[in-house]
A and B are shown apart, each in its own frame.
Chain A
Amino acid sequence: MALSKRIIKETERLIADPVPGIQAVPHEDNLRYFDVKIDGPAGCPFEGGKFSLELFLPDEYPMSPPKVRFLTKIYHPNIDKLGRICLDILKDKWSPALQIRTVLLSIQALLSAPNPDDPLATDVAKHYKEDERDAQRVSKEWTEKYAK
């Protein structure tokens, strides 16, 4: 399928006017596939880390959401061992008016505000609910270990 005008425009803008702390670069051989780097937001256990993600725009995009996955190991209640992300706008709350940049911003926001009540990694969520401080310590440790 030919690349739609929408994807071209979005990509152009992502490169010309990048979001602070977020980098998204399309693959040369597949412009629907992006290498993404997100900086851990300040004031949370992920601060100082640089997290790699992959983002893929399916053929139906923007009628269906992009597929996003963490490549860096991360200790977060809404992100599982395989890097899959539990985020409403990536699923049923997707709206075609959303964009790659808004999606990535939401993911960045998810890092600073974990939601253990709607968990994907149940063991991490349990840890966060029972002893938040200790869980944050582990998150920090993992950030040091894997996201540097």
Chain B
Amino acid sequence: MRADVEHVVSIFGLDQDSARMLLRDYNWNSERLIEKYMDNPTEVQIKAGLQNPKGAPSSVTPIAQPTTTRRSTRKSTAPISPVATKFVCPICCDDEPPATLSLQCGHQFCSNCWAQYLEGKVREEGECTIRCMENGCSLLVPDSFIKQHGGTPVYDRFEELVMRHYVAHIAHLKFCPAPGCTDTVSCRAAATKSALETMVPAVTCSQGHTFCFGCNVDSDHRPVLCRIARFWLKKCQDDSETANWIKTNTKECTKCQSTIEKNGGCNHMTCKKCKHEFCWVCMGPWVDHGTQWYSCNRYDDKAAIDARDAQSKSRISLERYLHYYNRWANHEQSARLSADLFAKTEKKMEEMQLTTELTWIEVQFAKKAVEEVLRCRTTLKWTYAMAYYLEKSNAKELFEDNQRDLEKAVEDLSELLESPIEPETIPDLRSKMTNKTVYVQKRNEIMLEDTANGFKEGRWTWNETVTL
């Protein structure tokens, strides 16, 4: 930010304040500012509130006359009006203010009102564009004025607001979203929207919080693209529970495919919508049942099989979704339980230190393993979302192979973590676990790298639900 300000200062020979105000007006796009400023500096200054339009009538409507300074201002850029009889601040109506102040526009107010105004704007409204108090006056209050007359806490807050304004408008900067973290992360590669079509910008701030630079969907949704991750989450929110219920409690009318819940009564069903009559047990048309009401003992009639076929087709898509969803949810659940696992592992590590010769540093392998499992579960979780949207192809098969390898390795490692500790097996367990951790880490890297490359090469083909 400082560099940008210096840059503008050096080009136009402006003071720091003006440069900062101009840049804020141009949302920190220094190139556009420089271009416009070259064309017409006055217009740019007026627009940014550095100057008042010439000859604009000031619409001062004082409550009590006359409006002239009694005491000269401490730091006023405006010409000081001759010391006259009495000044009454038009805002608080105080006729003996300690001092009066005005900006370049010459609108005089007492210093108490200014301080109150600045504090209100900065603290309550969180505003970093503060204009003169006079109605219709568009002159901006310079930063140095705020510093001098607003007090230190107000100015500090103001600086923070300016900083936020800067970060919000620079595409390659973002605040870390972790609670209480004030770190800013720069990621130039992910600054454009189109870049998000070929990569997943997972970044880590200096405090170690990982988040996605491109969206705020989930902390780290690699290997799935932001757009698809959003899609998936939305679908899950809409569908999952409902779909589960529908699957277990309803059947579809074999004629019009309306979803029907049978909540009592006999097996002779009449569809409310198309009036088709059928048997709930075999799904065949009711007429075939002849007079054998209330019992369906016939098995695999041609018509009944056809009917069931049609129904199963409509169930397939639902089942396909649930297949992916259940696995996705499962990994999410496991990842959520990791807090427990951490605690348990910590206990085990202590135990190990007591029962064996191993030092604190030597038992860290268990903690590392837990961390790795957690990381991989997040990846695995999202691979299921990705697989759901992938079109069937060789590439997808390879993807699923990778997924399976990773999953298998992660489950093995999880099992090792759960296994009981006996003093004689510890060295063995330790080497096994360390090896497995390294292996899992490797598989995870391969998985992520391969999908990332796939995005770059355009290897993945999506099914129609997500195509642009």
Contact = CB atoms under 8 A, between A and B. Distances in A.
A48 to B, nearest CB: 29
Interface stretch (A57-65, A66-74, A110-118, A130-138): A57-65
Binding site of A, secondary structure by majority: helix, strand, loop or mixed?
A: loop
Binding site of B, secondary structure by majority: helix, strand, loop or mixed?
A: loop
B117 A63 contact: yes
Contacts of B137: 95
Interface stretch (A6-14, A33-41, A121-129): A6-14
B133 interface: yes
Interface string B414-447: 0000000000000000000000000000000000
A57 B136 CA distance: 21
A99 interface: yes
B66 interface: no
Contacts of A5: 92-94
Interface residues of B, number: 21
B91 A62 contact: yes
A102 B63 contact: no
Contact of B135 (A4, A10, A60, A97): A97
B216 interface: no
The range of chain A's interface size is: 10 to 19
A63 B113 CA distance: 9
A100 to B, nearest CB: 10
A99 B135 CA distance: 10
B107 interface: yes
Most chain B CB neighbours (cut-off 10 Å) among A10, A64, A97: A97
A5 to B, nearest CB: 4
Nearest to A8: B93
A10 B134 contact: no
A6 B91 contact: yes
A64 B109 CA distance: 16
Contacts of B60: 97
Interface in A52-102: 60, 62-64, 89, 95-99, 102
A128 B423 CA distance: 87
A4 B92 contact: yes
Nearest to B136: A95
A7 to B, nearest CB: 9
Interface string B204-231: 0000000000000000000000000000
B169 to A, nearest CB: 20
A71 B368 CA distance: 69
Nearest to A94: B135
Most chain B CB neighbours (cut-off 10 Å) among A13, A89, A99, A102: A99
Contacts of B134: 95, 97
Contacts of B135: 89, 95, 97-98, 102
B61 interface: yes
Nearest to B64: A9
Contacts of A4: 92-93
Contact of B133 (A9, A64, A96): A96
Contacts of A62: 91-92
Given A95-B131, A97-B107, 12 more contacts: A6-B63, A6-B93, A8-B93, A9-B63, A10-B63, A60-B120, A62-B92, A63-B120, A95-B136, A97-B60, A97-B90, A97-B134
10 contacts: A4-B93, A6-B93, A9-B64, A10-B63, A62-B91, A63-B116, A95-B131, A95-B135, A95-B137, A97-B61
